Structure 1
Amino acid sequence: MSQYKQQQKSKLIQGNQKLVEAWIKLENVLYTSDPLYDDNVTELNLLDDLKSVRKEEGNQLSKNNNNIKNNINNINNNFNSSSNRNLFVSGNGKRPQTSKTVLNQMQQLRNNTESLRKFQQNRPGSAQFNLSMGQFQGEQFQSSFNQGLNASKKERISKVASLKSLMNLRAQSRPHKAVGVSNNQQEKQDLKILEQIPKEDMSDLHVDQILDLFTAKCLDQKVEYKPEQAVKFIEKIKKQCKKRIFNISEQGLGLESAYTLAHIFQDNQHFQQLILEKNTLGCSGIALIGEALRYNNNIIHLNVQSNDINQDGFVSLFESLLENYSLVSLDLGSKEGLSRNKLNDFSAEHLGDLLRYKDIYQFLKLQGLSISIQGVEQILQGLQVSNSLVYLDISNNQIGVQLTELLYRYLQGTNIQELNISKNEIGDQGVVHLSEMYAIKPKLFRFRKLILSGNRIGSTGASRLFNGIQKNPYLEELVLDDNKFSGKLFCSVQNFLWENQKLKILSLNNCSITKEGGEYIGYGLSKNRFLQEIYLAENMLKDYGAKILANSLKENIALKILDLEGNRIGDEGGIALGNTLNSQEIKLEKVNLKDNKLHDYSGIILAEALRENKRILKFNIDRNPISYKYMDEIQKSVQFNISEKKRRQIPDYMEEMKDLQLFENQKYDNQEKQIQLNKKQRQVEKELEDFIKEKQREENIEFARSKKLEDELQNNTDEYNKMVDEFKYLTIDMEQFMNDIETKIKYTDNNINVARLDINRMNNEVEMSKQSRPQFKKRKQDQLFYQESKLQETIREITKTKAGQEGFQKELSLTRIEIEKLQKKLWRYEQGLDSEDEDEKLQKEIEKQKQIEEQLQKEQIQKELEDKENNKNKKKGGKKASKKKLKSSKNLKSSKNLKANNK
């Protein structure tokens, strides 16, 4: 045990001395640095300094090793307990003990052994002496640096060197967890030294906060904490976190890192943009970030692209953002990779509610989130109420044709300036909807930038689009990259370039444009005076298309950027472009001819053109078979143009300033002249006023006279009109009177004619009747004879039928009588009466009934015969028939009375 204790004591003293000497060296370096040696001082690496110090101290300690051993033997008994041993044992055996722990241990040694205390006090190179001196000098350095003492020496000290050395020292002595396993004793010892090492802030972000974040990152990735890597992490954060932007993308941050970031940004009021893209925060991590943003009203932009966020994470984030009033830009999109975000219908509904209730968002990016058509509709319903959104990106979602219908329905009247719906497969039908939007309601869709790349648009849809936006007053940039055009489309492009006066940027990269299409585009550019940038990369223009474009550039005075990359242009096209660029009237500033088939012939012409043309500031001719000589000449010409432009900027500004000063001086010189002119103007104005007054008085007199004459003339005209009206009324009355008389005369004439015709007709009838009486009588007698014969036949038939009916009725009556007899016999038999007397009575009564029935039948037959005879004799004598009817009616009544009596 004694050997182990001695080893630990020697390690303690060595570590104490090394740390103190390293801190003293750091202080000496900071104070003794050359003031002329400005920010170019090389950054110090404290770990290397510690190694060199250890070597130097090893030699000094070897000389005093014997004296230290003698003093240590006197205090062996002080290290018997386990608690004292723990103070000197390192946590993992890799790092030296911290300075504050060493102070406590040395204080215990000083109290226990007087000999060691005298040795430490008398020996200038001892650990206690060096530590106290280092602390004193460090405090002096910190106070003088903060108060600005000795500014002439310390103003030129490299802040980079001091910052890196401090970061190294803090990273070296920072408490940490190795692969998630904590050492509490080591952490307690390490926490004490943090109070003695100076703290340094970076853009209102404390170094300790960055180290906390690095420790959390190590826990998320399950790697060991390494001070060297921590220092590199701090330097990277220092480079990326500038201009109030906290950019920590692609760092593999997880849940532990999100927890640390939430603590940092809950109170941080310095940063305005938080960029966390391409990490693995997940749903729980983004929920913690959202909770921190509830209380931070300084962040205006949040980027969480590709963080493996799904429904739960987005819902919690949107609910937290309801209480944030500073965020105006939200990037939730996703790029290709393993940590893609996904926005389903439920989370899209929450996003729509957020946009509906918080009308403060100006930029919204939702690319690559696999949104369905229902989710897009819910988001657009929220945007329908918003008046603040100016940028919307819903690209790479493969929604389909229905997307344009929703845009047409919900984006009318909004203030969106830029719309990106690329890679959504809307096709020709979707582009037709967009063209109708622009053609029918151009004032309701004020897009200034429209991106439609990669949407499988053909020639028909594109031609409709160009026709629809031909006279649109808002669209300034149109991107149609990665589509396939051909045929009659380019004729509409030509007409569009001729008529449109607003578009400034047109991009048709990778659109299968051939030399024929280039011809139409060239003719369109020849008459266009407003387009400034055109991109035609990755097409098939070849030499012919390049020649047409070169000729059109001679007439175009507005184009500044021309991109013809990858168009298989050879020397013919390159020479034509070079001859065009040789003129000073061309205003092109950037030309891209990369990846073509240009050789040295083109290189010579282009190099000569760039010597003459001083406007070209960027000329890309890479990946062409041109010799290095000509490419170097071209780049030198471009560099010369850039330098000339920079050189001319100050003189140009000076000339403008002089012009402004001359203008101001002319103002002061012209003040007196202006005063005199004002006086003359006032006199002239007075004279004009007097003249105007006289004119007005004369005009008033003339007006009064003319008014009187007008009144008299008006009275005369009124009287004349009255007389005319009276005459009209009289003429109308006379005409009506004459018309009435004429109608009456016509009516009487008609009556007379009718009476005459009636008299003539009557006379004719009388004569006809006299002539046709005997013939009429014969005809009537014949008709009567024929009718009588028919009646007799019918009577015979009726009598036959009646005779048959009478026989049948007799048989029926006999059967009835027999049945009645039997019934009566039964009744008498039951009552016990005499049968013979009763039978005689019944026979008499039956005979009477038979006689009555025979009379009735005879009367009915006579009646029917009489009716027939009456019908025959109706015309001859109606009175006889009536008498017979009366007789028959009497007979009927009498028969009825008889029946009633019999009953």
Structure 2
Amino acid sequence: MNHSDNILGDEEIKSLSQRLKNSQVTIVNLSCNIIGDKGAKYLAEILKDTQITTLNLFRNEIGDEGAKFLARHLKESRVTDLNLSDNYIGDEGAKYLAEILKDTQITRIDLRENNIGVCGAQYLDLAQGYTKRCSLKLDINYCANCQNYIRIISSYSSQMHQIANVTLYGDGIGTNAVNYLNQRFKEIPIVDLTLNSDELNAIESQYLAQAFNDIEIMNLNVHNCHVMQTNGIQYLVKIFRHSRIVELNLCKKQLKSTGAKYVANLLKEINIIDLNISMNCIEDEGVKHLVSGLKNNTIRRLLLSYNNIRHEGAKYLAEILKDTQITSLDLCYNRVGVHGAKYLANGLKNSQVTRLGLDGNMIKYKGYRYLIDTLEDTNLYSIDLHHNCIEEGLEKGTLLYTFNIERNPITIAKNIKKIFKELVSLNPLTSEFEFIVPKINISTVDVDNYIFLMKSLNDNPNTKAHIFEMLCRNDNHRYNFKITSKINEFITKIDDKFIAFIRSNLTDLLQVFDSYNYVNLVKQFQDMRSFVIVQNLLLRREQYISCYLDENKEILHPYIYEMLNEYKMPLYSRELQPSKKEAIISYYKNHSEIDGVQEIIDLL
């Protein structure tokens, strides 16, 4: 039944309510009328005798009294979807509704654009704690004083508390609103946060910094005026320095090259995962400014499409790729051309980039060849190359929307992810990542892979970006900052973790990799200058069969003797084995074919 926008008052609703009684109507749309509190009472009283499941009362001048009548009778109704947005409901009305939510069949309720403040929001939050199935849309009106007014618009689902959108309007956020925001979103992330105030100021930024301290923000939308205003970057840094931000969305903000310079300064102070700065016409000069903020940042996805970037801008970007964690780079529909493709090809060699978007850049066939000829030295496995005028040099029928690359041998990026997944696990008892022994007959790794993982992460810490992308980002675009922190902690302590692993799991390790030459293990860690690990391996040399040259496990490999001497560790026990020296020399003299024999004889 649709009676939207019919100027129905309370008397018309009184008559309509009687017709709805005992009817089979399930959907009722009464939006944009003048029902008021009295009309809401007439309607509420007959709900239990109807089949109504969807009730739309948007914009009907219903206040707290009307909400009270509805709340009283919703418990006995079949209503699952209730729209009360754009009415006059305040904190008192919100309290009435909150008290009955858990006893109703309501799964969706829309209370946006009412007069509900922080207190009313808290009533509804508490009610949602008992009503996990209910989806709530709400905005909060907050008056700090007579002159300053702020509106906090949020919509979120209580189903596992997974969705929260917040938009801040106006100026003058105060302590109550700050406390509400910080407490409300401690456990659930804000999916979209938009700052809609005209300008930021010192007092406002101080309050907002408290509100968003240690809060996860999946998508932060910042207006042009916040970036370009005097001290704007300083205020943004103050607000978000201690927030956990996934994406900073600056798309279509008319930043140009000057704005890009300000953004670079912001990136030097706060960490984000994804940066969208597309459609800002920042040009080459803007890229030149921006790269200073990209270096040594946590950014892993960078969107720079539609920015009129030419080959010089591509050069600036290519030069710093090796110093970033960027795994996905979107440069679609710029103007990098053949020379830009050449710069990018060189810059990609030592980078972590696995996906590259270059649609619409006029790189032509020559630029295409620059990229393809360097593939084996990169981590790339996907390139978008459509609209580049390169088809004349390709085999007929080649598709360029997404050029997926079959790599042989496997890239470092894929190797890192594969090995980490097999050799490292989150210990449920300690809540820390630890090395593990892979399962026998299932694993496709060997001992050398422990060394590869440690060497890769030590030599180039940015390779951890691939582990983050594998373990921290899920299909719902949520980002697990706790896991990121645990991975960073593991990498920081990786040598100590491996030593503890060797001490605790040596028997199992030898069982899985029984044919491995552990002399090689000592050599590789010595080459890596992991001296503490080498010492720990030497202390346990008697357990490595491959360290011995004879069946009786009496004579060690020359390299092991060499390392024992270097680390000032005894080659044998003079007290317990007084004749051991002569036995070693005699064995080596009879096996002169062994590399390094003469050096050990001379040493002894």
TM-score (normalised: structure 1): 0.34
* Higher helix content, 1 or 2: 1
Structure whose residues are more often strand by fraction: 2
Q: For the pair shown, which has the larger CA radius of gyration, 1 or 2?
A: 1
TM-score of the pair, normalised by structure 2: 0.48
